[in-house]
Amino acid sequence: MKRSFFFHTRFRSLILYVTSLKMYHCSDCGESLTTSHHLKDHKRMHTGEKPYVCSQCGKSFTRQSNLQIHERIHTGEKPYHCSQCGKSFSQESNLKQHRRIHTGEKPHHCSQCGKSFTQESSLKQHKRIHTGEKPYHCSQCGKSFTYQSHLQQHKRIHTGEKPYHCSQCGKSFTYQSALQIHERIHTGEKPYCCSQCGKSLTCKRHLQIHERIHTGEKPYHCSQCGKSFTRQHTLQQHKRIHTGEKPYHCSQCGKSFNCQRNLQVHKRIHTGEKPYHCSQCGKSFTRQSYLKQHERIHTGEKPYHCSQCGKSFSQESNLKQHERIHTGEKPYHCSQCGKSFSQESNLKQHKRIHTGEKPFHCSQCGKSFRDQSALYSHQLCHTGQKLYVCGQCGRGYAHSSSLRTHKCSNKAISS
């Protein structure tokens, strides 16, 4: 009983001692502090006073300890060392966080989903996924962000700032991650490999998108027509078909496009740039896809097969056009007369009947034609070339229609 009373008295004394330590109270917020010095530091939060100034850059701080930590940016001093890997840090708190990489400790837990984090700041950021909180707002357009770093990156859209520069070619980027991915063009590094087909890619995001080819996953759906896509930006581009939005404008001719990539390719018409070269014949192209299609002339590759008749094609677009022979589909309609066509190019040619447009001109006589094939046939009149020859009598014609109407005397005798 006496022993119990002794411990009770000691415990009560300890509580009174700890309480007495916090005898300095802030008149603004009521917080209690153990020393008058700490109270002075604390009050600067309310007054905004920052008496400790960096002699190097002029930045100010409320506490001397914060100034000392800051000065290490200029001196490069990193007095806190990891005993596991030897890595050094300018702040003790950063060393503590780093040590958790080795220990695997994640002391900060999310009460919503149970996910754990090494840093309290990471937990706070994570919680915004559940709350939907986006506390960082753009003063230019009002867009909100979960993370301050995302807001800083976003602001560069308005300022045009591209602070990350490639040392190889001088190209600049808004994001450091974009620069790192770009640099792999020069190094040839492709660290992300597909486990299905072995294809290597320059960034993790591209690998994730590529893997959907194998899984068939298309997680992005159009609310207008229900069409699905493997990439979010492809969905955004697609939506502009419904809205008619074309936000990318050519400064040379004013033409508008629904995606930035198409504008970049279009600009090459004005600049004459053809950056994609065939290693076989040296022919150059404005688009990489055009080069790939062209290379199949040399390889003879025809990777697109018709499931109906087995016919193969070098281009996917040609297969789609061919399949309409089997389905009878004619998706391109003339707004003037209602006539339908299986190919968009045929509709364009047809529309010239209504508009009277004849964009193909003969360099010899100046005569104009609605389509290129008609111009080509006409030019044979000037060259004297006769491509269409009668198998019976050997007589040649410039036009296939002339051969069809030709009445061969040899044919009459043989019959």
**Tokens encoding 116:** 């754990």
DSSP helix/strand/coil, 260: helix
Give the model's confidence band at 197: pLDDT under 50 very low, under 70 low, under 90 confident, else very high: very high
Residue 368 per-residue DSSP state: E
Residue closest to 138 by CA, chosen among 126, 160, 121, 153 = 153
Residue 20 reports pLDDT greater than 80: no
Range with lowest mean pLDDT among 14-18, 266-270, 272-276: 14-18
Spatial separation of the C-alpha atoms in residues 373 and 369, rounded to whole Å: 9
In contact, 74 and 56? CB cutoff 8 Å: yes
**Short-list 324, 323, 326, CA closest to 312:** 323
Amino acid at 24: Y
Q: For a pLDDT cut of 70, what percent of the chain falls above it?
A: 93
Distance CA 100, CA 82 (A): 11
pLDDT-derived band at 149 (thresholds 50, 70, 90) equals: confident
Higher pLDDT, 84 or 20: 84
Decide if pLDDT at 90 tops 90: no
Tell me the CATH number of domain 330-410, given options 3.30.200.20, 3.30.420.10, 3.30.160.60, 3.50.50.60: 3.30.160.60
Q: How confident is the model at residue 413 (pLDDT cuts 50, 70, 90)?
A: very low
pLDDT at 35 over 50: yes
Question: pLDDT class for 410, splitting at 50, 70, 90?
Answer: low
Q: Are the beta carbons of 382 and 360 closer than 8 angstroms?
A: no
Find all residues with CB under 8 Å of 262, minimum gap 6, and list them: 248
Residues in the chain, overall count: 415
Q: Where are the domains of the chain?
A: 38-105, 330-410
Q: Give the burial class of 259: count Cβ atoms within 10 A of its Cβ; 0-12 exposed, 13-18 middle, 19 or more buried.
A: middle
Whether pLDDT at 236 is above 70: yes
Q: Domain 38-105's class?
A: alpha beta
- Distance, C-alpha 180 to centroid of its chain: 14
Task: Please give the residue that has the higher pLDDT: either 170 or 373.
Answer: 170
| Residue 143 predicted with pLDDT over 60 | yes
Q: What is the pLDDT of residues 94-135, one digit of tens each?
A: 888 888 888 888 888 999 898 888 888 888 888 888 888 888
Average pLDDT over the chain, rounded to whole? 85
Per-residue pLDDT at 414 exceeds 50: no
Q: For residue 39, which amino acid is it? A: L
Structural tokens at position 87: 């890595």
